[in-house]
């Protein structure tokens, strides 16, 4: 495809995506706001977003803009991606900590898992399990098709639950999910500890619409400690309707590694 046509096509696809995404979020917000946490209602609402994401991906495939990309160029692009400050060092410390015995997974809507793997491997991380869509290649050149694995919030939470099923049941495990977009909401709520990083307005709006409470992580830790002192149960557990908020990866690092 000529470069001018490629730019025009990307512009049209991007514009359509943004407009329809905003319309989809607004349609979710039309429902009556609830006071108590309503997971079923939230999941049903996010099924609308899931249908939208799949339609958007189909449009991208049909446009042909992904055809002809070289896998080495994709990997080099991944190496140039700038992750949030503190993200890479956090995962480096998690992986290196033998006492933690952590199993780390990355779930993403990304069209190409190679892009994510390259982004993390450039920071010395080659052992993360990446769950994403994948390009198909013929002799290292993309065909323009996508192997659809994780396209939507519903796909994400299904992948997350499959990961949990494969975890060892020999001892109690604590599941922590870190997310920053509305597509992460279901996984955040399913985890024992759901941590929201960043300031996505759509995540906050949709979550609040269905009774999700957002609590600063430090405040949540203080409350858990208070419960322990008072002798009541203070177990972290999923589907409580409470998500914990942080402003940086340093806060998450301190919570999990204690320093």
DSSP labels, 75-91: HHHHHT--PPTTHHHHH
Question: What confidence tens digit (pLDDT) does each residue in 22-52 have?
Answer: 999 999 888 788 889 999 999 999 999 999 9
Strand partners, 131: 107
Give the pTM. Answer: 0.92
pLDDT of residue 167: 76
Question: What confidence tens digit (pLDDT) does each residue in 70-129 have?
Answer: 999 999 999 999 889 999 999 999 988 888 888 899 999 999 999 999 999 887 887 679
- Please name each of the domains of the chain with its CATH number: 3-257 (3.40.50.1000)
Q: Does residue 12 register a pLDDT over 80?
A: yes
pLDDT of residue 259: 61
pLDDT of residue 125: 83
Question: What confidence tens digit (pLDDT) does each residue in 192-244 have?
Answer: 999 999 889 999 999 999 999 999 999 988 888 887 777 666 678 888 999 99
DSSP letter (8 states) at residue 251: H
Residue 85: closest CA among 246, 259, 256 = 246
How far apart CA 61 and CA 67 sit, in angstroms, is 8
pLDDT of residue 35: 87
Q: How far is CA 128 from the centre of its chain?
A: 14
Average pLDDT, the chain: 90
- Residue 189 neighbours by CB distance under 10 Å: 23
How far apart CA 73 and CA 58 sit, in angstroms, is 23
């Amino acid at each position: 495809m000529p470069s001018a046509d490629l730019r025009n096509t990307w512009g049209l696809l991007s514009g359509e995506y943004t407009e329809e995404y905003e319309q989809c979020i607004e349609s979710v917000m039309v429902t009556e706001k609830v006071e108590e946490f309503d997971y079923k209602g939230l999941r049903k609402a996010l099924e609308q977003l899931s249908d939208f994401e799949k339609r958007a991906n189909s449009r991208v495939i049909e446009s042909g803009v992904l055809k002809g990309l070289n896998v080495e160029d994709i990997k080099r692009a991944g190496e140039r991606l700038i992750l949030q400050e503190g993200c890479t060092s956090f995962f480096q410390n998690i992986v290196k900590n033998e006492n933690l015995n952590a199993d780390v997974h990355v779930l993403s809507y990304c069209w190409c898992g190679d892009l994510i793997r390259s982004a993390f491997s450039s920071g010395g991380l080659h052992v993360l399990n990446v769950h994403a869509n994948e390009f198909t290649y013929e002799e290292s050149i993309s065909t323009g098709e996508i192997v659809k694995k994780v396209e939507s919030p519903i796909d994400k939470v299904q992948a997350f639950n499959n990961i949990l099923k494969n975890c060892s049941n020999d001892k109690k495990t604590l599941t922590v999910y870190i997310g920053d977009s509305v597509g992460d909401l279901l996984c955040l709520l399913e985890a024992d500890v759901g941590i929201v990083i960043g300031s996505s307005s759509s995540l906050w709006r949709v979550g609040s619409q269905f009774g999700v409470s957002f609590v600063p992580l430090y405040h949540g830790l203080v409350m858990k400690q208070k419960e322990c002192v008072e002798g009541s149960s203070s177990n972290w557990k999923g589907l409580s309707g409470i998500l914990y908020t942080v402003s940086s990866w340093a806060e998450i690092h301190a919570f999990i590694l204690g320093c």
